[in-house]
Structure 1
Amino acid sequence: MKKLLALLVLLAVIAVAGCSDNDEGSKTEKTDANKEQATEANDDNNKGKDEEGEKVYQIGEAAQLKSDLYGFPYEVTVNSFELTTEPVNGVKLEDKVMEIGENHRFAVINVTIKNTGEKSFIPNEKISAQLVNETLSENSYDEEFFTERNKELKPGNEITGNLVYMSPLFFEEDVIYLAYELISSEETRWELPIPEK
């Protein structure tokens, strides 16, 4: 009888231990599934962002932005990008630089800016775009190029024109970025691969 009782106690201990292992396994499976779902959600939220969390787009892609300072929404599309030594709108490199080096180039970036908000704004007064990379930070030449940015842009309307930059440093990196809302939580960039010389 004692042997039967000991056998029953042993079976009960094994059954209880087996149940707790199954519960832990079930908990582990649920935890792993939850972690996988969270990772997938984070991956979806980070589409179009680089490793630093900035929004990065390619040529031809439109981005919805919000002015960090003024709070209005707008849309920008980078249509094309080129580096050139040729005059742009009749302006030559030598008109901008006293001594032109072998690497001096105009960067010509064709963009479309659309007012997606409910109020008009003047793009050149409220938004700006910088050309940046590790060795470069340039503002565009406003006075001679894309002068439509100096006029009121009404809700639903858009303008297209060339942002023009100049530098001898474009070939220092493989890529440069056109950045709107630079150094803000709304910072948005377009990746512009540098062509061969």
Structure 2
Amino acid sequence: MKKYLGIISIFGLIFILGACSDSNESEGETTEENTEEETSEDTDEESTEDSESEDGEIHEIGDTVEVESFEWEIPYEVTVNSFEQVQEYDGEPLESYLMNAHETNFLGVVNMTVKNLADEPIVIGEYVAPDIVQGGTDGGEQFIFDVSEEDLSQELQPDEEATFDLVYTMSTDIDSGYYELKFQNMFPTEQSYRLPLE
């Protein structure tokens, strides 16, 4: 009889230990599942943030944005103050800038402010080279350099800023209905402004 009681007691202990073990394992699995879910959520959030930064936010006129020159790692701040569509600039008609201009062509005048955020002086034109592209496309066209040569040649001391115009030859005959002004075009530090057509 004692022998049978001993065997039953042993089986009882094994059963209890097995139950405890299953409980711990299921708790462990739950903890792992929770950790995996949290990690998955964190990854989803990070990938969303990454995709936003990779795609690049398109800023509106009036916004102030910090940009870093990718090649030189020089930071500067830019504000696009206004965008105008005109047929002449500084007394010169469109035709003096663009031969065989069509009636859809115009001069796009971007008034902007650049501030030097670096610890050393910078020459604006060496680091700030914004391109105009049709909305949602790649590539880019440079501004009419002669118009802004003097402004772009000036040196900015740390925390100093300058306001000037950039002038582009543009057309209203584009599918997107807007242009983008891109700083550090096609580089990881790219920043864009939306320039809507009238």
Bin of the TM-score, shorter chain as denominator length: 0.7 to 0.9
Report what 1:116 is aligned to.
Answer: 117
Q: CA deviation at 1:171?
A: 2.4
The Cα of 1:102 is off from its aligned counterpart by 3.1
Q: Deviations over 1:58-83 (max 9, x none)?
A: 3222222222333322111112223x
Match of 2:78 in 1: 76
**Structure 1 residues 149 and 21, CA, compared in 2 at 3 Å: closer, same or farther?**
same
Shift of 1:191: 2.6
Normalized against structure 2, the TM-score is what?
0.78
Task: Give the structure 1 partner of residue 129 of structure 2.
Answer: 128
Name 2:162's counterpart in structure 1. Answer: 159
User: 2:186 aligned to 173, 183, 194, which one?
Assistant: 183
CA distance in 2, matches of 1:122, 1:185: 22
Question: Structure 1 counterpart of 2:28, which letter?
Answer: D
Q: CA deviation digits over 1:3-59, x for unaligned, max 9?
A: 786666555444432331221011111221233234445555666x3xx44454332
Return the match for 1:34 from 22, 34, 39: 39
> Which has more helix, going by share of residues?
2
On the 8 A contact 1:146/1:161 being kept in 2, the answer is no
Give, as a single letter, the amino acid of the residue that structure 2 aligns with 1:130.
D
Superposed, 1:15-94 pairs within 5 Å as 15-43=20-48, 49=53, 52-54=54-56, 56-82=58-84, 84-94=85-95
Q: How big is each residue's C-alpha offset from its partner over 1:136-176, in whole Å with a ceiling of 9 and x where there is no partner? A: 62110121247322222222211112211112366221332
Shift of the 41–137 alpha-carbon distance from structure 1 to 2, 3 Å rule, reads closer
Task: Structure 1: state its 5+ residue gaps.
Answer: none
Q: What is the DSSP-based 3-state SS (H/G/I as helix, E as strand, rest coil) of the residue aligned with 1:112?
A: strand
Question: CA, structure 1 residues 195+92, in 2 after alignment: closer, same or farther (shift >3 Å)?
Answer: same
Whether the 8 Å CA contact 1:56–1:189 is kept in 2: the answer is yes
Q: Is the 8 A contact 2:74 2:127 kept in 1?
A: no
Which residue identity does 1:21 align to in structure 2? S
Q: Classify the secondary structure of the residue corresponding to 1:144.
A: helix
Structure 2 CA distance for aligned equivalents of residues 132 and 170 of structure 1: 13
Residues 136 and 27 of structure 1: CA distance in aligned 2, closer, same or farther (over 3 Å): closer
Asked if the contact 2:133/2:140 (under 8 Å) is kept, the reply is yes
The 8 Å contact of residues 58 and 190 in structure 1, kept in 2 or not, is answered as yes
Relative to structure 1, the CA distance from residue 21 to residue 149 in structure 2 (aligned partners, 3 Å threshold; closer, same or farther) is same
Q: Distance in 1 between matches of 2:70 and 2:14?
A: 70
In the superposition, relative to structure 1, how do residues 154 and 170 fare at CA in structure 2: closer, same or farther (>3 Å)? farther
**Structure 2 unpaired stretches of 5+:** none
Kindly tell me the number of residue pairs found equivalent between the two proteins: 191
Bigger radius of gyration: 2
- Residue by residue, what CA displacement relative to the aligned partner does 1:68-106 show, whole Å, maximum 9, x if unpaired? 333322111112223x24322222222223323232122
Q: CA RMSD, aligned part only?
A: 2.9
Distance 2:178 2:171 in 1: 14
